[in-house]
Structure formats: C-alpha cells, structure tokens
C-alpha cells in the first residue's frame, strides 16, 4: 500500500525460486503495475528454464536484469541482442555448483566465462549467502582462480556491476570512481 512504512526503500521487484513450469508472461500484470509505479524490474530466469523464457522475461515483462540467465547461450539471437543492449545478468557460479551439483559438477563447468566472452554484462553474486555459506570475496576468488581471470578482469567485473546497479547517474559515477580508485590503490600496493 502506498505510504506504508518501508515503501520508500523499495526500488524494484523480481520473481524468484523455481522457474520450472512457470510461464514468465503470467506475471505481466504485476510487472506493468510495478513499472508504472517507477520500480526497477528483474526476473529469476534462465537458470533452469530455456532461453525462450529468459527472452520472454526481457521482451514481455521488460526486465532490466536477469538473475542467472545463462540459458540464453542456447540461442544466439537473445545472446547477441542482450549483449548489444547491455542487459545485466546477476550470475552466481559457486552457488550454482553448490545448489545444483547435478548440473555443474565443477565450477569449471559453469558458463560464466562463455557469457563474458559473448559480450554479456555479467556481474558476480552470492545468490543466498546464509544458505550456502558463501560471501562475495569467496565468489570472486574461486571464480577467478578457476577461469584464470586477471586483476584487470576482476576490476572489469566490478565496473560492470556498477553499470548494472540500480543507481542514478550521479551515484553510479561516484561508485565507479571509488572502484577505480580502490583498484588503482590495490594494484599499486601489491607491487
């Protein structure tokens, strides 16, 4: 309800949990209401749903971000289109391995590197840190080790996360400056 305590802290909506057997288009009314209210839009799609469902979330629900979303790699059309659009993907490689070991036996099996190579705007995330005992530092460290990412790759991922953040342009610029300054200081200190 408008004006309820805490509503001033709500910036967006999304759908979570299982994607199996769920047509994302069935949520269109809720997403249009949220969009009309000025909320940002995301959807948990493309983790265990096909590329067509991830594309539906983008095209029908008009989401700005896909949580997981790696199934888009199954189809070059949405992959190319979403790469050009710079639609954000919140990807959780280590969490996917811990939660879905049948799908990803090893972290090296995860498509996060292929997503980046395809030009998708990928951000690293923890998914559910309390459930899987994982923090963002560990996510970055383990993923970087397995995929042999450089310091520059990690800084690039951090800057991509700034681009994906639901911030206004001024806040985004300030955060980008902080990431660049921190990265420069860390690189200088490490020498």
166 C-beta neighbours (distance < 10 Å), count: 15
- In this model, does residue 148 exceed pLDDT 90? yes
3-class state of residue 127 by DSSP: coil
Confidence of residue 2 (pLDDT cuts 50, 70, 90): low
Q: What are phi and psi of 91, to 5 degrees?
A: -110, 140
DSSP state of 21: T
What does the chain come to in residues?
A: 191
Q: Contact, 25 vs 54, CB < 8 A?
A: no
Predicted TM-score (pTM) of the model is: 0.90
Q: What is the pLDDT of residue 111?
A: 97
Is it the case that residue 68 has pLDDT exceeding 90? yes
Residue 113 CB contacts under 8 Å (≥ 6 apart), including other chains: 147
Question: For 80-131, what is each residue's pLDDT tens digit?
Answer: 999 999 999 999 999 999 888 888 999 999 999 999 999 999 999 988 888 8
145 tagged catalytic: no
| Buried residues in 29-46 as b, exposed as e (16+ CB within 10 A) | eebeebbeeeeebbbbbb
Say which of 19, 47, 74, 80 is annotated catalytic. 47
């Amino acid at each position: 309800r408008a004006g309820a305590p805490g509503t001033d802290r709500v910036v967006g909506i999304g759908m979570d949990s299982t994607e199996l057997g769920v047509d994302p288009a069935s949520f269109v009314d809720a997403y249009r209401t949220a969009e009309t209210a000025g909320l940002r839009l995301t959807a948990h799609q493309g983790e265990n749903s096909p590329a067509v469902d991830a594309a539906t979330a983008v095209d029908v629900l008009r989401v700005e971000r896909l949580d997981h979303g790696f199934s888009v790699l199954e189809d070059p059309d949405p992959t190319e289109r979403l790469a050009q659009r710079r639609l954000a993907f919140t990807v959780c490689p280590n969490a996917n391995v811990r939660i879905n070991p049948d799908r990803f036996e090893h972290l090296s099996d995860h498509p996060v590197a292929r997503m980046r190579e395809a030009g998708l705007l990928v951000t690293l995330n923890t998914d559910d840190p309390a459930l899987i005992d994982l923090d963002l530092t560990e996510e970055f460290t383990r993923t970087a080790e397995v995929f042999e990412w450089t310091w520059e790759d990690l800084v690039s991922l951090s800057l991509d996360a700034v681009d994906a953040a639901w911030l206004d342009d001024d806040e985004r610029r300030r955060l980008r400056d902080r990431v660049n300054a921190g990265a420069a200081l860390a690189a200088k200190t490490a020498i």
